[in-house]
Chains A and B, each alone.
Chain A
Amino acid sequence: MAKLPKSDELFQSIDHTPPEKWWMDLPVELKPGRFCYPAKPKNLEAVGFPFAREWKPTDEDWKLPPNWREIFLEGVRERLERFRTFRLFMDICVRCGACADKCHFFIGSGDPKNMPVLRAELLRSIYRKYFTTSGKFLGRTAGARELTEEVFKELWYYFFQCTECRRCSVFCPYGIDTAEITIIGRELINLLGCNIDWIMGPVANCYRTGNHLGIQPHAFKDMIEFFCDEIEEVTGVRPEPSFNRKGAEILFVTPSGDVFADPGTYTCMGYLMLFHELGLDYTWSTYASEGGNFGFFTSHEMAKRLHYKIYAEAERLGVKYIIGGECGHMWRLIHQYLATWWKPPESLEVPVSPITGTKFEHAKSTKMIHVVEFTADLIRNGKLKLDPSRNDNLVVTFHDSCNVARGMGMFEEPRYVLRHVCNNFVDMPPETIREQTFCCGSGSGLNTDEYMDMRMRGGLPRANAVKHVHEKHGVNMLCAICAIDRAVLPPLMDYWVPGVDVTGLHELVGNALIMTGEKKRTTNLRGEPLPGMEDVEDEDL
């Protein structure tokens, strides 16, 4: 892992001036901290991916198969037919440059090939060479170039420097979506077995155990029950969740990160407390134990394979509908892909809240609702007893997760919940939130340690906006409804804005929630004293 410079040094070093040499003449240079380790053969083999082998990105020879160029180009041809987005986006860009300074990776690195327009041109140049007449005959003059190993390495490097956040597509006058180009670019890379291990490891795990972290059923249950111990300690009330229970009304699916890593675990406790307090007839599944889907960062097909389990498990258990936890790309997939990949089983019903009677008409086909929608509806109908003053030590701001923002459009529901569970909430500047929100810098399977340099750069615009409200309004807590955010924003805040911590929304709900039969609470879920209880805790001890 490359050593990170100090944050102010890194900031000073960012230069947005393009180099002298034109981009086609600038060979790719793999900088440490800006690329990820290659996939281990066993993780590719686990899901039947081709060309599993030992190789290193820094090696001269990537051990590509002899006919790699044919495989790649055939892959392009096939995808031009399968995706109108791809064919159209290869043809209609006018290079107006409106997208250039909208990308968090360009803002943070200054590398011109991180401008969305140029990232797309990397592939467009290949398309022109092999699929257009002008490119075939005019070559460079028409913006076309040969597909060489050098060029392939460049594609690899830069398609793993895009988090598929879609921010550029908001500003593009033709809606050209770099996420779409990156997704297809990564599919092509995948045809040659060149994925990264931080993606392939979770994919292999998820295929076998149902979740990215490879948590086996008994361990999954243990972990949740451990949270119940913790909740009991804080509140005196012990939730009694069930696992793989047939006949439950609702199946709950959340990213496994919530079960595994702080501070996501506190969000998970929030769900447990809420559902217990409501007496909700729901079950966890150790098989459908992952809402996220790193398969999406390899290919559409792998994503479909991994998301199979959600409906399959809902049908097997005979539930009426599904509630999904706080997660970013999981929700893009559930909202925009799930019901296309897998037909919703007949056994499911249009979601109806058993507490408020609200029928979630907007999910009448997919039959899956977001837990934040569920909670917002409860609050709206006055079904929750809340004491937001328990979060009075916090000044909270809200980070719209890219996928939830630009692939779903859920902006108001989380803010509505936030305003009811804490008293101090301020938004960041408008050009950094909602549909214009900035990526955490580590999405789409790039949240690994060896990639830290690029993560801190990509996260700069987000951190910069947090810093603004931190200085102006004393914000000390960043709330996000995405498991990857909760994992990667803490180091990002430590680097750029020390003094700001990270939380999920349902952690704040859990803290504010007044539960039936609870003891006088002195600490929050993290075991920190509640506001005004700093001394009480000492006496108890």
Chain B
Amino acid sequence: MGMKFALNVVLGLALFVIIGVKLLGLHYLFGVIIPYTAVTLFFLGFIYKVFMWARSAVPFRIPTTTGQQRSFPWIKPSKIDSPYTKWGVVGRMALEVLVFRSLFRNTKMLKREGKITYHWEKWLWLAALAFHYAFIIIFIRHLRFFADPVPGFVQFLEKADSFFEMALPGLLITDVIVVAAATYLLIRRIIIPQVKYVSLPADYFALFLILALVLTGITMRYLWRVDVVKIKELTMGLATFHPVVPKGLSVIFYLHLFFVSTLFAYFPFSKLMHMPGVFLSPTRNLPNNNRMVRHVNPWDYPVKVHTYEDYEEEFREKMVEAGIPVEKPLDKPVEQQEE
């Protein structure tokens, strides 16, 4: 639900920038105030949200065990999928965060010819992985606008990224990948009936916003060339807290900057928080060593129980008759009672 709505919101945001910059000339608002506000919101929101999660207790140690437990020396335990040491957990989390281990397990169920069958389905995993890696490289590449001189690793990354330049001058492979992957994620959301059915406007919004952000960036690089020196003047001003707005920056840059700002501001209040969230997930970040090391529930409280004494009190006679030992003998022996 809400795909059109989400698209309209993104288009509305674009219109807002065009009016603001072109008609009203609010360069300082869009060049300085909004970016600062967005980054502030990002950090405050991000910290708040993570703090709220961290504040919630972890009463039980409940990893989802996806491999053999550690029991006997002659049975090989699964050190990563059923980790029982700290390093095992680190390994599990690393695989989860770096290569999306769980998503890699994905299969596709089909009902046909009177059977249920399961099939290879790694496209979601592949697209998700490609998208995230391309995005992070692009993000790091942008550090060149916020540091002078540009750090070595940023230059290196950009060089590696332009490896395919021989095919097309100036082509950065991550630009291609991020658009392709985000488009795939959008298309699958629309054409897979179940995924479409569970989608919310927010799911489309995140994709449209990122696509808009990326596409304006690409436009600036390949089609509608902008004055990079002026842009760096602005970004360095922001980075050093001496904001200046150079004249003559084109509207496409303001669009790009505004989409970035929107993403920053929106991030902590959205599903995009899955990024820090995955680190805190108790089904993944806890060891499967429950019977070896006791886990303590911080809010444990006393509960009402039915003690053995209560139990014997009710059944003592029947127990004695059946020859089951009791703590407290009957007042009179069974035989006498029967008399």
Interface residues, chain A, CB within 8 Å of chain B?
Answer: 8, 11, 14, 16-18, 22-23, 48, 80-88, 91-98, 100-102, 107, 112, 115, 117-118, 121, 132-134, 141-143, 166, 169-177, 180, 207-210, 216-218, 221-222, 243-246, 286-287, 300-301, 304-305, 308-309, 312-313, 316, 334-337, 339-341, 343-344, 358, 360-366, 368, 373, 376-377, 380, 405-413, 416, 429, 431-432, 435-436, 460-461, 464, 467-468
Q: Does B108 contact A (CB under 8 A)?
A: yes
Least Cβ–Cβ distance between A334 and chain B, in angstroms: 8
Interface residues, chain B, CB within 8 Å of chain A?
Answer: 1-2, 5, 49, 52-62, 64-72, 74-76, 78, 81-82, 96, 100, 102-103, 105-109, 111, 114-116, 118, 124, 128, 192-203, 269, 271, 273-274, 277-278, 280-284, 288-297, 299-300, 303-308, 311-312, 314-315, 318-319, 321-325
A170-B102 CB under 8 A given contacts A92-B271, A143-B200? yes
Residue from A83, A115, A313, A366 in contact with B194 in the complex, judged by beta carbons closer than 8 Å? A115
9 intermolecular pairs with C-beta atoms under 8 Å apart = A80-B56, A85-B62, A88-B280, A100-B194, A142-B200, A174-B284, A175-B278, A244-B319, A301-B303
Complex contacts, B195 vs chain A, CB 8 Å: 95-97, 100
Establish whether residues B278 and A92, one from each chain, have CB atoms under 8 Å apart when the complex forms.
yes
Establish whether residues A169 and B65, one from each chain, have CB atoms under 8 Å apart when the complex forms.
no
Interface of A is mostly: helix
Complex contacts, B108 vs chain A, CB 8 Å: 101
Give the CA-CA distance A137 to B100 in the complex, in Å. Answer: 34
Least Cβ–Cβ distance between B299 and chain A, in angstroms: 6
For A376, the closest partner residue in chain B by CB is B72
Establish whether residues A169 and B96, one from each chain, have CB atoms under 8 Å apart when the complex forms.
no
Known: A97-B192, A174-B284, A464-B116. 14 other contacts (CB 8 A): A84-B280, A85-B281, A88-B53, A92-B274, A115-B194, A173-B128, A217-B319, A286-B319, A309-B305, A340-B296, A340-B297, A366-B290, A366-B291, A411-B69
Complex contacts, A405 vs chain B, CB 8 Å: 65
Complex contacts, A287 vs chain B, CB 8 Å: 308, 311-312
Establish whether residues B308 and A313, one from each chain, have CB atoms under 8 Å apart when the complex forms.
yes
A177-B283 CB under 8 A given contacts A82-B56, A91-B273? yes
Establish whether residues B297 and A363, one from each chain, have CB atoms under 8 Å apart when the complex forms.
no
Least Cβ–Cβ distance between B191 and chain A, in angstroms: 12
Establish whether residues B57 and A84, one from each chain, have CB atoms under 8 Å apart when the complex forms.
yes
Least Cβ–Cβ distance between B149 and chain A, in angstroms: 38
Least Cβ–Cβ distance between A408 and chain B, in angstroms: 6
For B103, the closest partner residue in chain A by CB is A173
Give the CA-CA distance A269 to B294 in the complex, in Å. Answer: 33
Give 5 closest A-B pairs by Cβ, nearest first.
A409-B65, A409-B69, A218-B322, A92-B277, A175-B283
Give the CA-CA distance A16 to B5 in the complex, in Å. Answer: 27
Interface of B is mostly: loop
For B81, the closest partner residue in chain A by CB is A435
Establish whether residues A406 and B102, one from each chain, have CB atoms under 8 Å apart when the complex forms.
no
Most B CB contacts (10 A, CB to CB) among A172, A368, A376 go to A172
Establish whether residues B66 and A218, one from each chain, have CB atoms under 8 Å apart when the complex forms.
no
Residue from B59, B82, B124, B193 in contact with A96 in the complex, judged by beta carbons closer than 8 Å? B124
Least Cβ–Cβ distance between A195 and chain B, in angstroms: 18
Complex contacts, A337 vs chain B, CB 8 Å: 60
Establish whether residues B72 and A18, one from each chain, have CB atoms under 8 Å apart when the complex forms.
no
Least Cβ–Cβ distance between A366 and chain B, in angstroms: 4
Establish whether residues B66 and A308, one from each chain, have CB atoms under 8 Å apart when the complex forms.
no
Establish whether residues A101 and B2, one from each chain, have CB atoms under 8 Å apart when the complex forms.
no
Residue from B59, B278, B308 in contact with A316 in the complex, judged by beta carbons closer than 8 Å? B308
Establish whether residues B324 and A121, one from each chain, have CB atoms under 8 Å apart when the complex forms.
no
For A7, the closest partner residue in chain B by CB is B114
Establish whether residues A362 and B69, one from each chain, have CB atoms under 8 Å apart when the complex forms.
yes
Establish whether residues A166 and B64, one from each chain, have CB atoms under 8 Å apart when the complex forms.
yes
Establish whether residues B62 and A180, one from each chain, have CB atoms under 8 Å apart when the complex forms.
yes
Least Cβ–Cβ distance between B142 and chain A, in angstroms: 24
Complex contacts, A83 vs chain B, CB 8 Å: 56-57, 59
Give the CA-CA distance A85 to B105 in the complex, in Å. Answer: 22
Establish whether residues A81 and B55, one from each chain, have CB atoms under 8 Å apart when the complex forms.
yes
Least Cβ–Cβ distance between B99 and chain A, in angstroms: 11
Complex contacts, B72 vs chain A, CB 8 Å: 358, 373, 376-377, 380, 413
Complex contacts, A316 vs chain B, CB 8 Å: 308
Complex contacts, A335 vs chain B, CB 8 Å: 290-291
